[in-house]
Chain A
């Protein structure tokens, strides 16, 4: 692998986050086929160099084959560029969430709230409803849902839980305010934008009209990074009596919130 080829592979992976080396080659781009061949013929030293290059940019280069995870054919390989929880990649932009979720109103906070809430509900469909732990990468092939299912879950969450909360206790919660001000078509509109964003970001694949499945990249990233991202927040949120001490410590460490912090900065 020449430095030029390594640069091409790096560029392709940063853009698509996935490079497939399949025997049938159907649906693969021309560039992907060429780069897959380069990677297949690369020496171990070359692959190590590429891993280090990617590591320096905040990624882990993960190579999977048919012995690693279901969904990869015999003799095929998939190269994934997973983000690392310990270093942020400057080449990726998560800042367009609000813009894409609510392009007309420009209400960045409300857009983020909608995205975050739908995102957690979608994780509930992919993991909790299937009795699947975040480390269980191998179940990604069965992790699918329809747009209707997601909409229904979000509706149940808002109508069945959020609207039943005591408003007096939640006067300062902007999340409560945004969700309860939902009009009839908001859920469908935000859900559609959420799904488009997730597909564009490579987290979901649209299998057919209105049917979505978790991508292998998403399953891998959740497995690799759950313990350092969401797990501490779930301990904070847990009501179980077994975790109060850790929850207290984690809350202090993770949030460090100022009492006077503006509500606009909350989600």
Chain B
């Protein structure tokens, strides 16, 4: 234990300072109500404001240190009991004025359970009072004077150290993501509700600060010192919330069966609201940063309207001037004939839907144009082409003369040129095409063509070695 005490004392300077005052504040009035002797139906006035005690706060300060010390000892020793002397030594390192007997007294009080009488209400059964004695923050070992934190004590410290600062919002969103991962929708809803409540509260505080700053009433030094850090946190939080949103989408898409009764759509809507809220909070922080750069270095008082009233007694402003002010910020009522819904109905024409043009397509009478009938043309002329290719090659002019440029008395020049320029469609052996610059005029039905000479030949061995491209 001596080693633990030494380690504790060494690390004392790095430890988070425990503050029990929030716990005390939130429970003080509740305890007053618990201890109230007022009978039902008596006067609603509350008068017993006296708080017995020395009023110097010494025992509470010692209790704070005792609990903190027990927490550290418990972590180091695995919830082992700590001796009274080690606790006294550690507390006295922090509070020089604390004497041994006082510390022991505090430990004895913290270790003593007191019974609370609570009204228990069931949905169906009649309500009844139950006694709850699980109130000791410290447990005392049997037979020896040693102490450790009780379960309630740990809960108390956990509540006291729970940081609601918006700067830690990332951690809270991460908890939300983990809850969604595990399909615990009730917990997820609790997290997102708490986040929304916290964000709303922070947003309103920020708006108040902006209003004070923009009105020139707030001092510059009152603005956040670490604005940029805050903004960065919000940017990262937006990414995390997007992750949470995707988790919800995945839950909906996969239709994962969840035991909770919480509708997933509700969580989705709240996450969307949270996302918008965080984005807006980040934007408002930027606005505050901008405003604080131009704000005065010291606070100014609110303008005095009474002084203005006094001023106007001595030097009244012009009537039209006051009339203008009152017409903008004074009370007014609607007058005359106001536009109603029906006024707009005649003015705005409803959009008329255009009748769709009927399209009558008779597939029976449709003739495929010759350029789209290459395969048909090829089946008719492939044997002729292959014969020509075996006998020296296919020449465009010669083919046109033989009538290969037409089909069913229609021009089929495209088909012929396609066959000569894309021989892979019908030739299985290597071929080469020669393009001659000489031009010749040809006649095909309905078409006067001026073409250069194009000849397709079987590829020679040299040509095969020179080029892999048949054309």
Residues of A at the B interface (CB closer than 8 Å) are 3-8, 10-11, 14-15, 66-70, 74, 83-85, 88, 90-94, 96-97, 109, 112, 115-117, 119-121, 123-124, 127-128, 130-139, 153, 157, 161-162, 165, 169-170, 173-176, 179, 197-198, 200-203, 218, 221-223, 225-226, 228-231, 233-234, 236-237, 254-257, 261, 265-267
Contacts and interface: CB of A to CB of B under 8 A. Distances in A.
A70 B329 contact: no
Contact of B313 (A5, A138, A176, A202): A176
Contacts of A266: 316-319
A113 to B, nearest CB: 8
5 contacts: A3-B348, A69-B207, A121-B309, A131-B302, A237-B315
Contacts of B324: 229
A203 B331 contact: yes
B305 A127 contact: yes
B321 A254 contact: yes
B54 interface: no
Given A7-B344, A69-B207, A74 B200 contact: yes
A92 B335 contact: yes
Interface string B196-219: 100110011001100110111100
Contact of A67 (B203, B323, B343): B203
Nearest to B193: A74
B55 interface: no
A88 B327 CA distance: 8
A92 B333 CA distance: 6
Contacts of B315: 173, 237
Given A11-B338, A15-B334, A97-B326, A128 B208 contact: no
B314 A128 contact: no
Contacts of A119: 326, 330
Contacts of B342: 4, 7
A116 B312 contact: yes
A3 B346 CA distance: 10
B305 A91 contact: no
Given A66-B200, A93-B336, A117-B312, A128 B302 contact: yes
A91 B335 contact: yes
A130 B306 CA distance: 13
B307 interface: yes
B204 A70 contact: yes
A111 to B, nearest CB: 12
A67 B314 contact: no
A170 B335 CA distance: 38
Interface in B334-381: 334-336, 338-345, 347-348
Nearest to A180: B313
Given A92-B332, A94-B330, A233 B317 contact: yes
B204 A69 contact: yes
B276 to A, nearest CB: 8
Contacts of A124: 304-306, 309
A4 B348 CA distance: 9
Nearest to A83: B328
B74 interface: no
B27 interface: no
B287 interface: no
Q: Is the interface of A mostly helix, strand, loop or mixed?
A: helix
B211 A136 contact: yes
Contact of A234 (B208, B217, B303, B347): B303
A128 B303 contact: yes
B329 A229 contact: yes
Interface hub of B316, B322, B335 (most chain A Cβ within 10 A): B316
A46 to B, nearest CB: 13
A184 to B, nearest CB: 20
A118 B316 CA distance: 15
A138 B344 contact: no
B312 A237 contact: yes
Nearest to A70: B204
A261 B316 CA distance: 12
B439 interface: no
Given A229-B324, A255-B318, A255-B321, 4 more contacts: A3-B347, A120-B305, A128-B305, A135-B214
A222 B108 CA distance: 60
Contacts of B331: 94, 97, 197-198, 200-203
B387 interface: no
A133 B308 contact: no
Nearest to B310: A161
A163 to B, nearest CB: 10
Given A11-B341, A67-B277, A92-B333, A135 B211 contact: yes
A41 B313 CA distance: 52
A100 to B, nearest CB: 9
A133 B211 contact: yes
Contact of B326 (A69, A74, A94, A175): A94
A11 B338 CA distance: 7
B341 A121 contact: no
Contacts of B306: 120-121, 124, 128, 153, 157
B325 interface: yes
B221 interface: no
Contacts of B200: 66-67, 74
A132 B299 CA distance: 12
Contacts of A6: 341, 344
B327 to A, nearest CB: 4
B6 to A, nearest CB: 51
A259 to B, nearest CB: 12
B311 interface: yes
Nearest to A261: B318
B280 to A, nearest CB: 7
Nearest to B269: A75
B204 A138 contact: yes
Given A3-B345, A136-B217, A267-B316, A121 B305 contact: yes
Nearest to A204: B331
A133 B328 contact: no
Given A67-B200, A117-B309, A7 B339 contact: yes
A134 B331 CA distance: 17
A123 B325 CA distance: 13
Contact of A170 (B203, B313, B334): B313
A267 B217 CA distance: 30
B301 interface: yes
Given A8-B341, A88-B327, A226-B329, A93 B304 contact: no
Contacts of A265: 318-320
